Amino acid sequence: YPLNCCSPCCLPQADQAAQVPMEIGLMLLVSGATAHSGIIQLLDWYVGTTKMAMVMELLDSSMNLTEFIMRQGSSLTEKKAKLIFSQLVEAVRHCHFFWVFHGDLKPDNILIQTTTEKIKLIDFGCGKVLQEKEDYTSYSGSLMYAPPEWFLQSRYSAVPATVWSLGVILFELLCGHCPFIRTDDIVKVKFKFNRDLSAECQDLIKKCFSFSPLERPTLEELQFHPWIF
């Protein structure tokens, strides 16, 4: 892991004396006293001169969402997708509340417990401290989940980019494949549904895929969309 550092003033413990790698710092912000059931918990960590190790909680009977979708026959029912998606939106809201921008939302970075269908957001390696008033000018996550403004302007804002990525994930849960194959498809917002979905579900996905970042819903608006609420 690259040892990009997070300032001790960002951490929940006031007695943190030394800087820590960014990924550890971000996870500390959403672990411990600020823990959330939808986010994997950091239990301990070790930092060397060039490498680090992190001890995470163990989620029994779990797999990532990519594998789960495949085992469900390559797509989920709207009811099951709604349960997973609503948990994910709540977990991301928690991250943003504590100034953590995950930066790489995708099914591979979401664990699901098969016995309960509860999810855990994992892998904050591409994460950053949340910026509310400034755009980001670098992108570390998977480009298949990046919004069109990144390809057109080389900049993006945290919430609209997050909502776009959530839309891609929801599409994958329901349709079994990524909505966009090429960069040109993302820029032109060119996609189509390969199965019948309710009007409310299609409306939610289309809103997440609004070309203009300003027209995409906020995380709070996602939670109160008729398909979820």
- Binding site residues for ATP, as ranges? 57
H-run or E-run covering 113: strand 110-113
For the annotated binding site, the residues are: 57
| Tally of CA atoms within 13 A in the half-sphere of 183 that contains its CB | 6
Is 104 catalytic? The answer is yes
Q: Dihedral of the CA atoms 185, 190, 191, 197 (nearest 10)?
A: 150
Q: What is the largest CA-CA distance in the chain?
A: 55
Catalytic residue of the set 104, 123, 135, 196: 104
Q: How far is CA 103 from CA 122, 135, 186, in A?
A: 11, 13, 18
Catalytic residue set: 104
